């Protein structure tokens, strides 16, 4: 299905029954990364898997910003009249979730994994690899990660949603950075997953299912 929100057309797929769960992918991906996860979650939740602007089957854009993506999600929730929302965001999707939860009360339960609040939250070698890749490819999605986000502690402290902050022990995000995020969200829970990298427990995986079910229940 498609819906026009915040001046952009977003593609989304709805699966399952029960309480609303929105799932948002990372940079350069699309909603199908959650197909296996949703096969488990659909027994408990109505899963809304969204292609972010400029990704998948959603509208193409020339420039990207996390704020615009967050405004897309806020408009999406309002236009569909969704309530009691669980939000799961991976990587860029996690950044978007932080912005939505800090700027509204539209999310009740927030789960993020592999998110950062500053570009230098990336491990140094990852940042420089991305910088080199942008010089070669000039991909605006890579530029987004090099230039954004810029979320301060005061913004994180505005988040009232019940929050679970996840990362892999081998993540491309600095562990100290992930801890910093959790520390600044009141009452949040932090879970560093042993032996997992940035995406190994997310993309085409069901490993998140018991973690999500346990946290939300």
141: nearest Cα among 30, 9, 3, 11: 30
Per-residue pLDDT of the chain (217 residues; tens, 9 = 90+): 999 999 999 999 999 999 999 999 999 999 999 999 999 999 999 999 999 999 999 999 999 999 999 999 999 999 999 999 999 999 999 999 999 999 999 999 999 999 999 999 999 999 999 999 999 999 999 999 999 999 999 999 999 999 999 999 999 999 999 999 999 999 999 999 999 999 999 999 999 999 999 999 8
Contacts of 144 (CB under 8 A, 6+ apart): 27, 64, 65, 66, 92
What's the pLDDT at 49? 98
Burial class (CB in 10 A: 0-12, 13-18, 19+), 45: buried
Using DSSP, state whether 160 is helix, strand or coil.
coil
What's the pLDDT at 185? 98
Write down the architecture of domain 2-216 according to CATH. Answer: 3-Layer(aba) Sandwich (3.40)
Contacts of 217 (CB under 8 A, 6+ apart): none
In the chain, where the domains are located: 2-216
What's the pLDDT at 176? 98
- Starting at the edge strand found earlier in the chain, the sheet holding 45-50 runs 2-5, 8-16, 45-50, 19-24, 85-90, 107-113, 162-170, 189-197
14: nearest Cα among 213, 41, 83: 41
Other Cβ atoms closer than 10 A to 103? 15
What's the pLDDT at 217? 87
């Amino acid at each position: 299905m498609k819906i026009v929100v915040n001046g952009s057309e977003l593609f989304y797929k709805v699966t399952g029954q029960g309480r609303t769960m929105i799932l948002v992918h990372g940079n350069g991906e699309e909603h199908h990364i959650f197909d296996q996860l949703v096969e488990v979650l659909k027994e408990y939740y109505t899963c809304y898997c969204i292609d972010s602007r400029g990704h998948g089957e959603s509208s193409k854009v020339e420039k990207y910003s996390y704020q615009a993506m967050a405004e897309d999600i806020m408009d999406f929730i309002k236009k569909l009249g969704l309530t009691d929302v669980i939000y799961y965001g991976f990587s860029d999707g996690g950044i978007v979730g932080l912005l939505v939860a800090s700027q509204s009360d539209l999310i009740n339960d927030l789960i993020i994994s592999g998110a950062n609040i500053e570009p230098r939250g990336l491990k140094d070698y990852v940042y420089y690899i991305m910088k080199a890749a942008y010089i070669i490819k000039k991909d605006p999605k890579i530029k987004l990660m090099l230039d954004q986000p810029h979320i301060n502690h005061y913004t994180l402290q505005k988040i009232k949603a019940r929050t679970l902050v996840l990362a892999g022990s081998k993540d491309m995000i600095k562990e100290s950075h992930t801890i910093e995020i959790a520390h600044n969200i009141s009452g949040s829970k932090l879970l560093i997953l042993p032996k997992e990298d940035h995406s190994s427990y997310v993309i085409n995986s069901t490993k998140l299912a018991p973690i999500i079910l346990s946290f939300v229940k």
